[in-house]
Chain A
């Protein structure tokens, strides 16, 4: 026996970690399953991104362009001159550490370079070394470092481990927003051709075909046709959506993911049913068939190029105003950027609900309304006949999307809707919702499959809060208002909380919506038997 008795720690000594070094002396370790594959050359070329080439993150040599150093420093200089946010955030951080443990990637990975403050320091150290007097003289003592290919790798690795969720910014005493810094970091990596495939692919597709999935016009219509069939079999009503119709009152734009990806498709069916029931004079567009904007995860210019289609199409079709579907980053872009980029939208009218007469003054310049605002107004004015009992098989909790909560402040509208269409609604703990919500862990184009481990780790804080309400209230449905959430939280729940499903708010609306002339419903929107109907099904 004694022979086998390992001395305490002997067994674990194999794993003893190296002595801790300063972060600047700790080289980046590019770990598999934590990053996304590089972009395809042709995708980068489609949108004229520079330095497209074959390279592998695991390789020693990333084949950086010859004058890469100059490119980066010039790029930084230009960004500092263009963005006050960047310039100020580079200068004023006091490293108090308030943000450190607020990042879902840090909480989930424990990697210190995922602390927002340190992720920013990756860039700040180069800024100090090249753009400040003190940094140039005092070098490392003042927290400056030289730009090396290692630094570029570190930037790439960690700026693509940030989902620009802005949670850190809520807790920072100066409002320093890591999302801004990550955006700048990504602009810089983009200058060197270091883009990832999961972003570049959708960007190229959206540029050429109007949506991230690269769906051609006839594919869009035929796919919506499938929804129409399903809706008919559920309700007995055939809805009749139109496409690219001139003279419609409203243009409807939603993330293309919801046209194909489950469970987003059910949300899209919800829109179709709602609009039909209202008799809304609206049209879809196959040209502006994308609400989301993966360009936003590359460069400001690319984001603007993709976004331009929405106003252009609204103008061509002669609609009065634009209605937007449930999506997260789409709404950050629409709310805070679109009008500035591609406005003024003086060819549109101030949005007014044709059903309730409500004028959406909060959108009087941009002239685009969020569907949650639109639907909440309908419910408030009693325009919808609802039977929340049809959602009684669901115990629902609501996940605030990062962008709609911290880049817009849409907190109550979706809750109001859910409370009116569901009888069982439970909030997650206060520190994990509303402006303090945790990211799904896969935003900003990081929802690829090769980085699934990163996603699961980044998604853990959110999943952990869901686990709490699942244990406490038996929650089995995680509602949200974001297409990326619907796609990625499904995987996250599948791993961390099997049995908890994911849906958009308007799927719940569709379940509860009593339509004029509908047949008695025996199935929910997922074509599953409604509670109490299982028996009859089996008979």
Chain B
């Protein structure tokens, strides 16, 4: 059996380990809640994490292009970007997969048999992490942009009245930042 087969066989156990490890980045009282309920609407954070991690795992296993995993990454990163964690902590989750795999497949990985495949997989995880970081930065920038956009939106007509918008309007046919959402 190759590494891929091994991973597929142990998917549930690895995912559980990974999920639990990711939850450790939350305060204990929080992670308890995230664990208990799986309902999509009652516990959207826990739900997004479970679904997202599984999709990433499957993607890595199938060796798809990292870019195609963007939606799944996004669903996790977007949440972690506003959870008040240091970036290092928010972005640790892809790396925790390495631990989960090594922990779960400890006996099998002992020799050199899978070392080539394992290195490749770990590189893929690194690439995933880097890509996640891009998304993380977009999210953080969005937060700051929102603060600016919102104050504009809140006083849009005042600005328009002050003729400030009219000048900008030459370049941007949109009227106000609510239009910007369409970008």
**Interface positions of A (Cβ within 8 A of B):** 1, 5-6, 8-12, 15-20, 31-34, 101, 106-112, 213, 219, 222-223, 226, 257, 259-263, 265, 429, 431-432, 449-450, 452-453, 456-457, 460-461, 464-465, 468, 487, 490-491, 493-496, 498-502, 526-528
User: B155 to A431, Cβ gap below 8 A?
Assistant: no
Pick from A17, A450, A465, A499: contact of B181, CB below 8 A.
A499
Q: Which residue of B lies closest to A33 (CB)?
A: B84
Q: Kindly state whether residue B40 has any CB partner on chain A within 8 Å.
A: yes
A112 lies within 8 A of B142 (CB): no
Q: Which residue from chain B places its CB closest to the CB of A23 in the assembled complex? A: B29
Q: Which residue of B lies closest to A5 (CB)?
A: B102
**A15-B24, A110-B27 as given contacts; A495 in contact with B181, CB under 8 Å:** no
> Which B residues have a C-beta under 8 Å from some C-beta of A?
17, 21, 24-31, 33-34, 37, 40-45, 48, 78-79, 82-84, 89, 92, 95-96, 98-100, 102-103, 115, 118-119, 139, 142-143, 146-147, 149-151, 153-158, 160-161, 175-182
Once the chains bind, are A11 and B30 in contact (CB under 8 Å)? no
Contact of B30 among A31, A112, A213 (CB under 8 A): A112
Find B143's partner among A213, A263, A456 (CB 8 Å cutoff).
Answer: A456
B136 to chain A, nearest CB (A): 13
Q: Which of B119, B176, B180, B181 contacts A1 (CB 8 A)?
A: B119
Whether B27 lies near A456 (C-beta < 8 A) is no
The 8 residue pairs across chains A and B that have the minimum distance between CB atoms: A110-B30, A8-B103, A449-B147, A464-B44, A112-B29, A260-B157, A262-B176, A456-B82
Is A491's CB under 8 angstroms from B98's CB? no
A17 surroundings in chain B (CB, below 8 A):
24, 26-28, 31
B78 A496 Cβ-Cβ under 8 A:
yes
Taking CB atoms, residues of chain A closer than 8 Å to B98 are: 6, 11
Q: List 9 A-B contacts (CB under 8 A).
A: A1-B118, A15-B92, A110-B26, A223-B157, A223-B161, A457-B82, A457-B83, A491-B150, A495-B142
| Shortest Cβ distance from A34 into B: residue | B84
Task: Answer whether A261 and B155 are a contact pair too, CB < 8 Å, given A11-B95, A110-B45.
Answer: yes
A34 to B180, CA, bound (A): 26
Residues of B within 8 A of A450 (CB): 147
**Cα distance A209–B43 in the bound complex, in angstroms:** 43
Given A1-B119, A262-B177, A499-B181, A110 and B29 contact (CB-CB distance below 8 Å) = yes
The residue on A at minimum CB distance from B147 is A449
A17 to B29, CA, bound (A): 10
With contacts A15-B24, A262-B156 known, is A432 near B41, CB below 8 A? yes
How far is B177's CA from A262's CA once the two chains are assembled, in angstroms? 8
User: Shortest distance in angstroms between B158's beta carbon and chain A's nearest beta carbon?
Assistant: 5
Do B29 and A20 touch across chains, with their CB atoms under 8 A apart? Answer: yes
Give the distance in Å from the alpha carbon of A84 to the alpha carbon of B182 in the complex: 49
B181 touches A501 (CB 8 A): yes
**Cross-interface CB contact of A452 among B34, B143, B161, cutoff 8 Å:** B143
A226 in contact with B161 (CB, 8 Å): yes
- Among residues of B, the one whose C-beta sits closest to the C-beta of A476 is B182
Given contacts A12-B99, A110-B33, A495-B82, 12 further A-B contacts (CB under 8 A): A1-B119, A6-B99, A8-B17, A12-B24, A107-B42, A107-B44, A110-B45, A111-B29, A261-B153, A262-B153, A464-B40, A500-B181
Contact B156 A8 (CB under 8 A): no
Question: Are A8's CB and B153's CB within 8 A?
Answer: no
